[in-house]
């Protein structure tokens, strides 16, 4: 899908939050060539390049080599075991149309089932509503380890990944590594209830991720360094670790990031910034319109994240970050503060703004807010002054539900996560990802 930011802004066609960020997008995002044009140039059907019903890997690689200069690598309806993992490197103006299911059968415990590298004008999508990659990750988890990632894009420009399901990855599901001018949308990701099974990890420039549902027990949609001009909106973290930024370490360089319309249920947090030592900065971040239910943590800046070893440096500087319009509930607000800002003492947070935050506790009749090591900030327990006492904690106890905390639920909320010792069924990509919201881009499959 070609999305010209400049033209869309001029015509008033962009969603509000994208329009707010659009002034910093300098180029169109998404593929430069339409799917129909690519189909007209050349079709490379994997069934004509070997025996994909035995092992998809070699036929997929051969079909790519035949279509890498323009065309569509077609994976028709059906089931395709994949024991040979492939790296598809180079090429331009091409696509993978996945109409069937790819099932991992290879036993290599590392790497990526499908890696796309150093390409431009690329699309990976399903047009029949049934395209999926099934990783059978439980087979690795039962042995106490992890396996390959399902899909990784590295150094890919002007791209889109959409209308597919990624299921039960043995490791991360989708990684966007140093990519730019891309779009990810209309997807569902289902992983097991265990850490280390990230939904979407992204770092790069000018990327729009929207209308995605993630189930796992680790990162939902997470920005890593370096990153600039990333928009994430209409995200459904349905029994997950929740969205995050990090973990961050030495040389962090992240700016102009926006998350809007994020719904999080039964997760570790609604949003967490994660670092422990390190250096560099995170700046110009907007986190708005968040709804949460039954999450352990809610709003969390953690400059001493104990799951990460201490990194070289005096601490990552968090500056000019705004949290706005957060509603819902947390599991136990007296044990885990729904507002928790714990910044590095040697690099205090600067210009943090909290406004319209209304999270109430499911258990008990009170909760508390906690802020440490911040300056020139505004709202709740934050420090509006320009000086601070290192590691001095400011807390406030709340004994009545804040006004406006009640928030809607999604009808598909899961009541439990998926097991680590059995296969996860392939779901259908949903038609909504945030209460009351219609996807920004219609499903490719209209049935």
Which residues are identified as catalytic?
218, 293
Q: What is the C-alpha end-to-end distance of the chain, expressed in Å? A: 20
- Among 356, 357, 360, 371, smallest CA distance to 399 is for 360
Q: Pick the closest to residue 201 from 166, 245, 159 (CA basis).
A: 245
Distance CA 63, CA 49 (A): 6
Give the C-alpha separation, 45 to 70, whole Å.
Answer: 14
d(CA 245, CA 242): 10
Residue 128 makes CB contacts below 8 A (sequence gap 6+) with: 77, 99, 445, 447
**Which candidate, 439, 438, 433, 440, places its Cα nearest to that of 291?**
433
Positions of E strands within 344-392 = 349-361, 367-372, 374-375
User: CA 231 to CA 208: how far, in whole Å?
Assistant: 5
Q: What angle do CA 146, 263, 417 make, to 5 degrees?
A: 40
């Amino acid at each position: 899908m070609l999305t010209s930011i400049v033209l869309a802004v001029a015509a008033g066609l962009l969603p509000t939050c994208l329009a707010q960020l659009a002034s910093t997008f300098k180029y169109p995002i998404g593929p430069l060539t339409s799917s129909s044009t690519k189909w007209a140039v050349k079709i490379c059907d994997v069934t004509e390049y070997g025996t994909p019903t035995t092992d998809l890997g070699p036929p997929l690689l051969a079909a790519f080599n035949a279509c890498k200069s323009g065309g569509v690598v077609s994976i028709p309806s059906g089931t395709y075991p994949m024991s040979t993992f492939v790296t598809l490197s180079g090429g331009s103006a091409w696509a993978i149309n996945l109409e069937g299911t790819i099932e991992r059968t290879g036993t290599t415990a590392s790497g990526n089932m499908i890696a796309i590298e150093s390409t431009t004008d690329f699309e990976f999508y399903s047009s029949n509503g049934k395209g999926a990659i099934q990783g059978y990750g439980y087979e690795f988890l039962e042995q106490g380890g992890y396996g390959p990632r399902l899909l990784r894009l590295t150094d890919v420009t002007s791209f889109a990944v959409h209308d597919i399901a990624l299921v039960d990855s043995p490791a991360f599901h989708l990684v966007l590594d140093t990519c730019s001018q891309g779009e990810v949308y209309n997807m569902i990701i289902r992983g097991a209830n265990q850490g280390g099974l990230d939904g979407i990890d992204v770092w790069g420039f000018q990327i729009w991720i929207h209308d995605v549902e993630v189930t796992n027990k680790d990162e939902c949609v997470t920005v890593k360094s370096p990153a600039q001009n990333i928009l994430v909106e209409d995200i459904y973290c349905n029994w997950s670790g929740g969205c995050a930024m990090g973990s961050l370490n030495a040389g962090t360089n992240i700016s102009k990031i926006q998350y809007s319309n994020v719904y999080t249920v039964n997760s570790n947090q609604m949003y967490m910034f994660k670092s422990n030592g390190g250096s560099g900065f995170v700046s110009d971040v907007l986190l708005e319109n968040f709804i949460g239910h039954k999450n352990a943590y809610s709003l969390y800046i953690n400059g001493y994240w104990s799951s990460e070893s201490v990194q070289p440096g005096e601490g990552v500087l968090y500056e000019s970050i705004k949290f706005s319009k957060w509603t819902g509930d947390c599991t136990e607000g007296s044990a885990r503060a729904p507002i928790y800002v714990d910044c590095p003492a040697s690099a205090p947070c600067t210009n943090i703004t909290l406004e319209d935050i209304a999270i109430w506790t499911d258990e008990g009749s009170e909760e508390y807010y906690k802020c440490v090591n911040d300056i020139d900030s505004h709202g709740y327990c934050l420090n509006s002054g320009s000086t601070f006492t290192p590691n001095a904690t400011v807390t406030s106890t709340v004994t009545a539900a804040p006004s406006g905390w009640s928030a809607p639920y999604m009808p598909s909320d899961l009541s439990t996560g998926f097991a680590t010792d059995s296969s996860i069924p392939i779901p259908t990509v949903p038609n909504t990802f945030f209460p009351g919201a219609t996807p920004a881009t219609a499903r490719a499959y209209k049935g």
